Amino acid sequence: MFTLTVDPGVGGTGVAQWSNPLWKQLVPPVAVDCFAPKRPSAEWDERCDSIVVQFTQLLLQLTGKVTDAHIEYPALMVATGSGAASATRGDLVKLSVMVGRLAQCCHTNGVKYHFLPVNEWKGTMPKKVVDRRIKHRLGMKFDEHISDAVGMGLHLKGHFNQA
């Protein structure tokens, strides 16, 4: 049985698959993947559709084996210049749509889903710090979108914020 952690994004969605029997142990995920849009230059809704199809295929491949999926829930980070600009462009709304669609995939495929607020597990922590913590805990480096999915799992397992 497995638990998934999902870092949603219209440009790429990272997924880490964790073994439930080893949940409390400091071990890497058993599998990771990044679902990228088939046409990266397409409109955001088409990119979203492409990623949702890939995520659904993963759930179908793992039918009966995934107990839970933890999906990162976005937050408006107005304290950062990029957060305010993102809100102005509507990126937060688009990301929220993606999160809802991924949750619907889980529901449709019998997987219990949970939202993990970004503020709860990393706040405004820069990507380099997330990567450094993962490297320190697991001795591994992961690609961009996968890295946050792994960081989320480590947080839920109680191993991300430890000194």
Backbone angles phi, psi at 27, to 5 degrees: -130, 150
Least Cα distance to 52 among 109, 1, 2 occurs for 109
| pLDDT at 90 > cutoff 80 | no
Distance CA 33, CA 128 (A): 20
User: What per-residue confidence (pLDDT) applies to 86?
Assistant: 52
Q: What tens digit of pLDDT does each residue of 19-33 get?
A: 999 999 999 999 999
What are the extents of the domains in the chain?
2-156
The pLDDT score that the predictor gives to residue 39 is 95
Adjacency order of strands within the sheet including 13-19 = 31-35, 13-19, 2-7, 66-73, 112-117
Task: Please compute the mean of the pLDDT values over residues 55-71 and round it to a whole number.
Answer: 97
pLDDT at residue 128 above 90?
yes
User: Class for domain 2-156, per CATH?
Assistant: alpha beta
Q: What does the chain come to in residues?
A: 163
Mean pLDDT, range 30-37, rounded to an integer: 97
Is-contact 10 99, C-beta < 8 A? no
> What pLDDT, on a 0 to 100 scale, did the predictor assign at position 91?
82
Residue 125 neighbours by CB distance under 10 Å: 16
Backbone angles phi, psi at 97, to 5 degrees: -60, -45
- Please report the pLDDT score of residue 77 as a whole number: 56
Mean pLDDT of the residues in the chain: 91
